[in-house]
Amino acid sequence: SGHWISVLGLGAMGAALAEALLGAGREVTVWNRSAEKAAPFAGRGAGIAGSAAEAIGAAPLVIICLLDYAAVRDVLSGAVDQLVGRTIVNLTNGTPQDARDIATWVEDQGASYIDGGIMAVPPMIGSPDAFILYSGTAEAFDDYRQTLEILGATQFLGPDAGLAPLYDLALLSAMYGLFGGFLHATALAGSEKVEAGRFTEMLVPWLNAMTGVLPEIARQIDTHNYAAADGSNLAMQAVAIENIIATSNAQGVDSGLIVPMRALMAHRIACGFGGNDIAGLYRVVASRKRDD
Ligand code: NDP
C-alpha cells in the first residue's frame, strides 16, 4: 500500500521516530540489526522485517536512522534490488560530503534521496518542540511532508542534500560552544565551592541576555561593519579573557576551552582591529582555507 512507512534503525532515536508514526495511526514496518529491539514493536501493530532489504521493499517511504553513514551505506548496498522508486529519508548524522555522495548513489539506483538533521532529543520527537532540517529532492519532500511533520516541525533547505547536515553541524557546534562555556564557568565557580545548581540560577538569565545580542552581531557580520558600536571593543575584552585564563590556572581549573578565544582575539588585535566588536572575530574564524 502507498501509505506504509519503513523505519530502519531502532536505537534511541529510530525507536522514537517509529513510535511517533505508529501513534499517528500510520502503517509502519521496522527493522533493526539486533532483532530484540524490533520485537516490542510487533505488539504495537508494526510489521517486523527480517532484513533491511525486506524493510526497504515494504514501503515507498523509507526512514533511516542509524549510528553513522558507514552503517547506512552497508544497509543500502545490500538492498539494491529493492531501491527503485523508493524515497529514502536519511536522518543519520553525517557530513555534507557524506550526504552528497550517498544522494548521488541512491539516485543512480532509481530512488529519491532526502537528507535530514534532527534538532531534538528522542523524548521531543512527535512534539512541536522538535524540528528537523531536510534537503534533497524537493518533489519527494513535498510528497511526504505531511508524514514527516508527524515527527516534528519541518524545515526544507533546498535541493543540495549536503545542506541539512551543514546546518545541523553548525547548530550542534553552537550548542557545544554553549555547553563548553557552561562547564568552564561552573568549574570556575565550583573552585570556591559554589554549587552548580545555585550558580546556574545566575548563569541562565545571563546567557539569555547574551543570546539577545546575537542578531546585532549577525547584522555586523552581514554588513561587514565590525566597529564596536556599543562600547565593548576587543582590546578591552582581551584583558578580561586574560584574567579568566589566569584565574582558571590559579584555581586549578582547565583553561583549555577559553584559550582558543584568546588566540582569535590576539590575532585580530595584531591585525590592527582592537577597536572591533566581538563580531570582528568572525573574520578570523571564517578565513581558513577549505580542507585545512
Ligand atoms: P543509538 O546508539 O541508540 O542507536 C544506533 C542504531 O544504529 C542502532 O539501531 C544500531 O543497531 C544501529 N547500527 C549501528 N551500527 C550499525 C551497522 N553497522 N549496521 C546496522 N545498524 C547499525 O543511536 P541513536 O538512535 O541515538 O542515534 C541514531 C542517529 O540519530 C545518529 O546519527 C544520531 O546522531 C542521530 N540523532 C540522535 C539524537 C539523540 O539525542 N539520540 C539527537 C539527534 C540526532 P543495533 O541495535 O543492532 O546496535
Give yes or no for a contact between 54 and 79, defined as CB atoms under 8 angstroms apart.
Answer: no
Flag the least confident range among 103-117, 182-196, 228-242: 228-242
pLDDT in the model for residue 287: 86
Helices (H), 109-233: 138-148, 163-190, 196-211, 214-222
Which atom of ligand 1 is nearest to 8's Cα? 9
Is-contact 75 66, C-beta < 8 A?
yes
**Would you say residue 10 has pLDDT above 70?**
yes
**Which one is predicted more confidently, 280 or 291?**
280
Q: What ipTM is given for this predicted complex?
A: 0.99
List the grid coordinates of 55: 524493510
pLDDT the model gives residue 128: 87
Kindly state the average pLDDT of the residues 259-285.
96
Q: What is the mean pLDDT of residues 149-165?
A: 98
Report the C-alpha gap between 173 and 179 in whole angstroms.
10
3-state secondary structure of 116: strand
The pLDDT, as a whole number, for residue 263 is 97
What's this model's pTM, rounded to 2 decimal places? Answer: 0.93
For the residues 10-21, what does the mean pLDDT come to? Answer: 98
Per-residue model confidence as pLDDT tens digits over 45-96: 999 999 999 999 999 999 999 999 999 999 999 999 999 999 999 999 999 9
β-bridge pairing 5-8 and 153-156? unpaired
Torsion over CA of 129, 135, 139 and 140, rounded to 10 degrees?
-70
Q: Does 39 sit in the ligand 1 pocket, CB within 6 Å?
A: no
Report the percentage of the chain scoring pLDDT > 70: 98
- Ligand 1 probe mutation, 7, 13, 31, 102, most atoms within 8 A of CB: 13
DSSP H stretches of helix in 49-95: 52-57, 69-77
Res 289: pLDDT: 66
CA angle 114, 135, 7 (to 5 degrees): 35
CA of 114: how far to CAs of 101, 106, 137, 182, 255, in Å? 12, 10, 6, 35, 41
Q: Is the CB of 37 under 6 A from ligand 1?
A: yes
Q: Is the CB of 124 under 6 A from ligand 1?
A: no
Return d(Cα 82, Cα 141) in angstroms, integer.
20
3-state helix, strand, coil in the chain (%, to 5): 55, 15, 35
Residue ranges of domains in the chain:
5-166, 212-285
> Burial of 94 by CB count in 10 Å (0-12 exposed, 13-18 middle, 19+ buried)?
buried
Q: Give the mean pLDDT of 129-137.
A: 97
Q: Is the pLDDT of residue 243 over 50?
A: yes
Per-residue pLDDT at 1: 41
Judge contact between 245 and 232, C-beta under 8 A.
no
Using a 6 Å cutoff on CB, does residue 73 contact ligand 1? Answer: no
Q: Does domain 5-166 have CATH number 1.20.1440.120?
A: no
Rounded to whole angstroms, the Cα distance separating 272 from 267 reads: 9
22 vs 292, which has greater pLDDT? 22
Identity of the residue numbered 33: R
Confidence class for position 3, pLDDT limits 50, 70, 90: confident
Could you tell me the distance, in angstroms and rounded to a whole number, from the CA of residue 110 to the centre of ligand 1?
A: 26
> Which numeric CATH code is attached to 212-285?
1.10.1040.10
Give me the helix-helix angle, 96-108 and 163-190, nearest 10°. Answer: 150
For residue 207, give the nearest of 180, 182, 190, 228 by alpha carbon. Answer: 182
Q: At residue 230, does pLDDT exceed 80?
A: no
257 CB near ligand 1 (under 6 Å): no
Query: Predicted confidence band at 292 (pLDDT cuts at 50, 70, 90)?
Result: very low
pLDDT for residue 139 is more than 50: yes
The pLDDT tens digits for 171-228 are: 999 999 999 999 999 999 999 999 999 999 999 999 999 999 999 999 999 999 999 8
Question: Residue 147: what pLDDT?
Answer: 97
The reply to whether ligand 1 has any atom less than 6 angstroms from the CB of 94 is no
